[in-house]
Homo-oligomer: A and B are copies of this chain.
Amino acid sequence: MSITSDILRGHTEAIILSHLLEQDSYGYQINKDIMRKTDNKYELKEATLYSAFRRLEQAGYIRTYWGNETVGARRRYYSITEEGRKAYKSYRRDWEEAKVTIDQLLK
């Protein structure tokens, strides 16, 4: 793991939203995807993930529904809302700007 909690902080929600842009998904899957995508360099801890889901739902950025699995454990799916897409875009702009600014400040 090379990304600290403090760097992670503030990106969690955007990372989740980004994933949901592609397709609806559920917690366990999102978690695995992130690890796979980053060659296990980055792991969203479960507690972090679920608290982020709560915030995103609260904010109206995602909606949730239960999957209709007949075998295996039940899955709670999440889908991004129109508001969520806007929030994602806004976040992306902020991030591009923040990167430049931080780079400046680190010389």
Residues in chain A within 8 A of chain B (CB atoms): 2-7, 9-11, 14-15, 18, 21-22, 34, 37-38, 41-42, 92, 94-95, 97-99, 101-102, 104-107
Please state if B18 and A106 are interface contacts (CB–CB under 8 Å).
yes
CB-based closest 3 A-B pairs: A6-B10, A7-B10, A15-B105
The answer to whether A6 and B9 touch (CB under 8 A), given A37-B104, A105-B37, is yes
Q: Which chain B residues lie closer than 8 Å to A6 at the CB level? A: 9-10
Bound: A7/B93 CA distance, A: 13
Of the candidates B18, B41, B101, the one whose C-beta lies within 8 Å of that of A38 is B101
A98 to chain B, nearest CB (A): 5
**A106-B101 contact, Cβ under 8 Å, with A10-B4, A10-B6:** no
Closest beta carbon of chain B to A20's beta carbon, Å? 11
A38: chain B residues at CB < 8 Å are 101, 104-105
A2 in contact with B92 given A18-B106, A101-B38, A101-B42 (CB within 8 Å): no
